[in-house]
Amino acid sequence: NGEATDSGGETYVVATDNNFVPFEFVDQETDELTGFDVELMRAIAEEAGFNVEFEQIEFSGLISGVSTGRYDIGIAGITINDERKEKVDFSDPYYDSGLTVAVLEGNEEIQSVEDLAGKTVGTRTGSTSQEYLAEELPDANVEAYPEITTAYQSLLTNKIDAVLYDLPNVQYYSKTEGGGKILAVGDRLTGESYGMVFEKGSELTEQVNTALQTLKDNGTYDEIHAKWFGE
Ligand code: ARG
């Protein structure tokens, strides 16, 4: 979906991976790309005086696509971490998140991450949760999917025992498509913050940070947040 905003200035290409409710996804009714990240990015562009054009790409290729200058900006619920900071510059954090275990409603056997040994756990390829599973849960059988909705479908049809993924995505999926059948259990496993990414040394980083701060100060950030998270 290459819909552009028109603020009169430069047009920048923004890479995202639209399989991540409620941050970026295609609305079934309107067929439009929407979500918290999409609206925040558009508001930042308007504030900073540039235009954005979204391009759909595979999450695993997003950091490298931005680091080589193929895309000007990446926004996709991207967790800020040191490994990624070696390749790209991050904006200031714009959303506090973390990982959770999710199981089918009524599952009494798996109530926390400690119960995952020997279980089959679904996650997304190239995500921080896949890394977490590899490092912290060597005894779990990991199934990495290119789209997290496929992992949720596998959970709903009992092909896997649990999913490990970003808490806000689990919660929103559960409330919507998941029909309350998928539940987040146990404590939040990690604290992770999301940031936008830029090619190293890009002047856009500061422009975006300045605009983000303005939107936080003038209430626009809170409005967009309330729309998607209801707080
Ligand atoms: N926060 C996780 C990470 O950075 C998952 C993000 C997935 N985002 C997406 N748009 N598919 O690895």
In this predicted model, what pLDDT tens digit does every residue of 30-72 receive, in sequence order?
999 999 999 999 999 999 999 999 999 999 999 999 999 999 9
CB-based contact 167:100 (threshold 8 Å) = yes
CA of 71 to the centre of ligand 1 (A): 17
Q: Report the alpha-carbon distance of residue 90 to residue 79 in Å, rounded.
A: 10
Number of domains in the chain: 2
Residues 179 and 198 both lie in one domain: no
Q: Is residue 205 part of a domain?
A: yes
Decide if pLDDT at 1 tops 50.
no
The verdict on the CB of residue 127 being under 6 Å from ligand 1 is yes
The verdict on the CB of residue 59 being under 6 Å from ligand 1 is yes
Q: Is residue 4 part of a domain?
A: no
Please give the pLDDT value at position 5: 55
State which of 149, 165, 185 marks the end of a domain.
185
The CATH number of the domain holding residue 56 is 3.40.190.10
Decide if pLDDT at 196 tops 80.
yes
- H helices of 82-203, in order, are 82-85, 128-136, 148-156, 167-175
Residues 117 and 174 both lie in one domain: yes
Confidence category of residue 8, pLDDT binned at 50, 70, 90:
low
The verdict on the CB of residue 17 being under 6 Å from ligand 1 is yes
Please give the pLDDT value at position 115: 97
Domain with 60, as residue range(s), is 11-95+192-229
Rg, the chain, Cα only: 18
- Report long-range pairs for 126-135 (Cβ below 8 Å, ≥24 apart): 126/59, 126/60, 127/59, 127/165, 127/166, 128/79, 128/81, 128/99, 128/166, 128/190, 128/192, 129/99, 129/164, 129/165, 129/166, 132/99, 132/164, 132/189, 132/190, 133/164
Instruction: Locate 192 and state its tokens.
Output: 């992770």
Contacts of 213 (CB under 8 A, 6+ apart): 92
Q: Is residue 146 part of a domain?
A: yes
β-pair partners for 88: 199
Q: What is the mean pLDDT of the chain?
A: 95
Residues 224 and 114 both lie in one domain: no
The verdict on the CB of residue 24 being under 6 Å from ligand 1 is yes
Decide if pLDDT at 4 tops 80.
no
Residues 113 and 67 both lie in one domain: no
Can you tell me the mean pLDDT for 200-229? 98
Q: Give per-residue pLDDT as tens, 211-223.
A: 999 999 999 999 9
Q: Report the alpha-carbon distance of residue 14 to residue 28 in Å, rounded.
A: 22
Q: Report the alpha-carbon distance of residue 162 to residue 137 in Å, rounded.
A: 13
Residues 131 and 199 both lie in one domain: no
The verdict on the CB of residue 166 being under 6 Å from ligand 1 is yes
The three-class DSSP label of residue 202 is coil
CB-based contact 222:229 (threshold 8 Å) = no
Q: Report the alpha-carbon distance of residue 86 to residue 92 in Å, rounded.
A: 16
Phi, psi at residue 100, to the nearest 5°?
A: -145, 160
Atom nearest to 24 CA in ligand 1 = 10
CA of 78 to the centre of ligand 1 (A): 5
Residues 157 and 200 both lie in one domain: no
Which value does ipTM take for this structure?
0.98
Residues 64 and 41 both lie in one domain: yes
Please give the pLDDT value at position 160: 98
Q: Report the alpha-carbon distance of residue 26 to residue 3 in Å, rounded.
A: 13
Can you tell me the mean pLDDT for 154-163? 98
Residues 24 and 52 both lie in one domain: yes
Q: Give per-residue pLDDT as tens, 61-118.
A: 999 999 999 999 999 999 999 999 999 999 999 999 999 999 999 999 999 999 999 9
Q: Give per-residue pLDDT as tens, 123-149.
A: 999 999 999 999 999 999 999 999 999
Q: Is residue 53 part of a domain?
A: yes
Residues 90 and 22 both lie in one domain: yes
Query: Burial of 219 by CB count in 10 Å (0-12 exposed, 13-18 middle, 19+ buried)?
Result: exposed
Return the closest-CA partner of residue 171 out of 154, 157, 188, 147: 188
Residues 91 and 196 both lie in one domain: yes
Query: Which of 38, 78, 167 best tests ligand 1's pocket when mutated (most atoms within 8 Å of CB)?
Result: 78
The verdict on the CB of residue 198 being under 6 Å from ligand 1 is no
Please give the pLDDT value at position 121: 98
Q: Whose CA is nearest to atom 12 of ligand 1?
A: 127
Decide if pLDDT at 7 tops 60.
no
